[in-house]
């Protein structure tokens, strides 16, 4: 029963950068309907830099999340996402739902990166919203 | 395994299938990064994933409907119940509903099983009984914030068994009456979370003015708010 309840509640966004799993980790930004936290992370297989995104839709309607519109730079040039299976595409996030992704970016160094989240909410694109990590 | 428990198990299994990040037994995730994942994939959080908007509901249902004439003909006592003066049959029981649909329309199946709490009485014959319904549901619904309201038509069959017992607690006198059921219903529900609802439903028969039903229920939803917005 406990597992069933957890499954039912998974993906719920309770607001204020929290889902039922706890608070979002990272630097926070609000873009359109999305509350987003971004942080650098690491992985056993993928090479840095890897950006971990946690997002929640605080609107009472679905919104379109477009990770392909997120720009990431290392201060000198724009870093393309590493997407060997060509999975990245705009997808809808339900109202009051949350999600998370980790995306690696092609860079020769693993230093500081800046992320522009301004167009992550494709239904409500805004001005550039840079967050440096 | 009774029906509600079986329905819960099925719903949980489907939810598990709809949550690909829950690692399947035997699948060892090697990375959490897009493109490197082995057991998962990009966008499992999205409503664009192919998840049927199934909702499963369980509730307490109260029904009050006219008692159809029935005959108790078994020995040792033969009695007949007539329409005149018979009270309505009142039942309390469990309802399970399995629904799916789109932004505006929904439909599915409802199964009700109830015990009789009011039925025709005969002197020195303790009574018992059961009522079961199988209904198809067709409805429309709309949502506002975390609330939704719907109107639906429930059509199907109701079978009611009236049983009367003797001193040895055997119940040799019984009869089962079947009747058509066509109910117009209004439902109001709230979503404490986007995949869990609590609601009430009020129904009124289109065949008999004194046939009414009321239900309090809770439901789980594979799609948030059933994708109504």
The count of domains in chain A is 1
Does A35 reside within a domain? yes
SS (H, E, C) B195-211: CEEEEEEEEEECCCCCC
Residue A116: which domain range?
A: 9-132
Q: What does the pLDDT read at residue B68? A: 81
Write out residues in chain A with pLDDT < 70, as ranges.
1-10, 110
Mutate to test the interface with B, among A55, A97, A120 (most CBs of B within 10 A): A97
pLDDT digits over B89-121, tens only? 999 999 999 999 887 899 999 999 999 998 887
**Treating both helix axes as pointing N-terminal to C-terminal, what angle do A2-9 and B3-17 enclose, rounded to 10 degrees?**
50
b/e sequence A63-86, b meaning 16+ C-beta within 10 Å: bbbbbebbbbbbeeeebebbbeee
Q: Is the pLDDT of residue B226 over 80?
A: no
ipTM of the complex model: 0.84
pLDDT digits over B167-223, tens only? 667 777 778 889 999 999 999 999 887 788 999 999 999 999 899 999 999 999 887
Which of chain B's residues have a Cβ under 8 Å away from the Cβ of A81? Answer: 34
Mean pLDDT of chain B, nearest integer:
81
Q: What does the pLDDT read at residue B163? A: 84
Query: Are A43 and B227 within 8 A, CB to CB?
Result: no
Q: What does the pLDDT read at residue A20? A: 81
Does A4 reside within a domain? no
Distance of alpha carbon B100 from alpha carbon B228, whole angstroms: 11
Q: Is the model more confident about B223 or about B79? A: B223
Does A97 reside within a domain? yes
Query: Are A103 and B33 within 8 A, CB to CB?
Result: yes
Does A59 reside within a domain? yes
Q: What does the pLDDT read at residue B202? A: 97
Q: How many A/B residue pairs have CB atoms within 8 Å? A: 116
CATH number at A128 reads 2.60.40.1240
Does A2 reside within a domain? no
Q: Is the pLDDT of residue B23 over 50?
A: no
pLDDT digits over B65-78, tens only? 988 877 776 544 44
* Partner residue opposite A62 with nearest CB, options B36, B43, B47: B47
Query: Are A10 and B19 within 8 A, CB to CB?
Result: yes
Does A77 reside within a domain? yes
Does A1 reside within a domain? no
Query: Are B35 and A62 within 8 A, CB to CB?
Result: no
User: Alpha carbon of B220 to those of A6, B21, B159, B176, B185: distances in Å?
Assistant: 12, 19, 28, 34, 20
Q: What does the pLDDT read at residue B85? A: 61
Chain A closest CA to B41's CA: distance in Å? 8
- The token duo for B201 is 């439903």
Q: What's the whole-number mean pLDDT along residues B7-29?
A: 50
Q: What does the pLDDT read at residue B15? A: 44
B15 three-class SS:
helix
Distance of alpha carbon B20 from alpha carbon A130, whole angstroms: 31
Distance of alpha carbon B216 from alpha carbon B95, whole angstroms: 9
Show which of residues 30-59 on chain A sit within 8 Å of chain B, judged by CB atoms: 43-46, 50
Does A3 reside within a domain? no
A66 three-class SS:
coil
Q: What does the pLDDT read at residue A1? A: 46
pTM value is: 0.63
Q: What does the pLDDT read at residue B26? A: 57
Q: Is the pLDDT of residue B80 over 70?
A: no
Q: Is the pLDDT of residue B12 over 80?
A: no
């Amino acid at each position: 029963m406990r597992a069933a309840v957890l499954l039912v509640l998974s993906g719920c966004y309770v607001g204020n950068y929290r889902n039922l799993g706890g608070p979002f980790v990272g630097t926070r930004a609000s873009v359109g309907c999305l509350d987003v936290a971004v942080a650098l992370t690491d992985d056993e297989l993928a090479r840095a830099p890897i950006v971990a995104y946690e997002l929640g839709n605080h609107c009472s309607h679905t919104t379109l999340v477009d990770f392909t519109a997120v720009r990431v730079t290392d201060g000198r040039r724009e870093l393309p996402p590493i997407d060997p299976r060509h999975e990245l595409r705009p997808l809808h996030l339900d109202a009051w739902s949350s999600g998370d992704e980790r995306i690696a970016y092609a860079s020769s160094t693993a230093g500081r990166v800046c992320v522009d989240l301004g167009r992550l909410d494709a239904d409500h694109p805004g001005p550039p919203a840079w967050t440096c990590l | 395994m009774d029906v509600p428990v079986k329905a819960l198990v099925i719903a949980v299994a489907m939810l598990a299938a709809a949550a690909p990040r829950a690692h399947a037994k035997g699948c060892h995730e090697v990375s959490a990064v897009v493109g490197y994942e082995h057991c998962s994939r990009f966008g499992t959080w999205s409503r664009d994933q192919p998840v049927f908007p199934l909702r499963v509901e369980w509730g307490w249902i109260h029904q009050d409907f006219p008692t159809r004439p029935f005959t108790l003909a078994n020995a040792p006592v033969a009695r007949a119940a007539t329409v005149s003066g018979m009270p309505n049959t009142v039942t309390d029981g469990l309802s399970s509903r399995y629904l799916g649909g789109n932004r505006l329309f929904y439909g599915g199946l409802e199964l009700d099983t109830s015990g009789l709490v009011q039925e025709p009485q005969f002197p020195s014959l303790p009574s018992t009984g059961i009522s079961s319904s199988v209904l198809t549901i067709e409805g429309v619904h709309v949502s506002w914030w975390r609330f939704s309201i719907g109107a639906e038509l429930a059509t199907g069959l109701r079978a009611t068994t009236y049983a009367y017992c003797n001193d040895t607690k055997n119940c040799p006198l019984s009869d089962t009456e079947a009747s058509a059921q066509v109910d117009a219903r209004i439902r109001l529900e709230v979503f404490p979370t986007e995949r869990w609802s609590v609601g009430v439903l009020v129904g009124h028969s289109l065949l008999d003015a004194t046939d009414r039903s009321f239900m309090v229920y809770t439901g789980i939803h594979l799609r948030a708010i059933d994708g109504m917005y």
